[in-house]
Amino acid sequence: MIDEILEDSQQRMAKSLEALEHNLSKMRTGRAHPSLLEGIMVPYYGVDTPLKQVANVSIGDARTLTIQVWEKTLVSAVEKAIMTSNLGLNPCSAGEIIRVPLPVLTEERRREMVKLVRHEGENSKVSVRNARRDANSDFKELVKEKEASEDDERRAQESVQKLTDRYVAEIDKRLDAKEAELMEV
C-alpha cells in the first residue's frame, strides 16, 4: 500500500514538472519557434481548429516564423487569429505564405517574462508540495487504521521528502535555464 502511495505521488510530481515545461515552452525568448503559435485556433468552416491542422509552421530565420496555409481561403483567417492571440505578433502575407516577424524583446519585457517564469515555477513547486502533503496524510491514515507501523510511516515520509527535494531541484534547474535564455541578448 505504501508503494502505491509513493508511486502516485511520484506521478503527480512528474506531471507538475511536465506542465511547467509545457508552460515555459510557450514563453517567447526572442527566437522563432513553432511552439509559440501552438495555442492559436483558426475558424475553419465554423469550427475553431488548431493552427497546426490547417497550416505548416516552420522557422524562416532566427527571428521569423513562416506559415504555409493549406487552403488559400484561410490565409486571412490565420492572419486574424494570430493578430488577436495577444502574443504581440504582426503577421504579413505574401500569397499563400504568411511571415510572422518576432519583435525584439526590450529589457523591461524580459524582466516581466522572468517574473512570469518564476510565478510558473512557484506554482509547480506548490503542486509538488501538495503531492507530498497528500502522500503524508495517506501514510498517517494507514498507521491510524493499523495497516502500517509508525516506522514504516517514517521511512515512507522520508522517501516522499527525498522525491519532493529531487523534483523541486529539477524545477529550479529548469527555471534557471529559462531565465538565462530570456535575459540573453
Residues of the chain within CATH 1.10.132.20 domain(s) are 2-26+106-183
What is the three-class DSSP state of 31? Answer: coil
Cell numbers representing residue 8 in the block: 502516485
Right CATH for 34-101 from 3.40.190.10, 2.60.15.10, 3.30.1360.40, 3.30.365.10: 3.30.1360.40
Q: What is the pLDDT of residue 11?
A: 94
pLDDT at 83: 86
Q: Per the CATH hierarchy, to which homologous superfamily does domain 2-26+106-183 belong?
A: Ribosome-recycling factor (1.10.132.20)
Short-list 83, 81, 163, CA closest to 129: 163
pLDDT tens for the chain, 185 residues: list them. 888 999 999 999 999 999 999 888 777 666 777 777 877 888 888 888 888 888 898 888 878 889 998 888 888 888 888 888 777 788 888 888 889 888 777 888 788 888 888 999 999 999 999 999 999 999 999 888 888 888 989 999 999 999 999 999 999 999 999 888 888 76
Quote the distance between the C-alpha of residue 93 and its chain's center.
Answer: 29
| Cβ-Cβ contacts under 8 Å for 56 (sequence gap 6 or more) | 67, 68, 70
User: To which residue does cell 500500500 refer?
Assistant: 1
Which regions of the chain carry the CATH code 3.30.1360.40? Answer: 34-101
- Give this prediction's pTM: 0.70
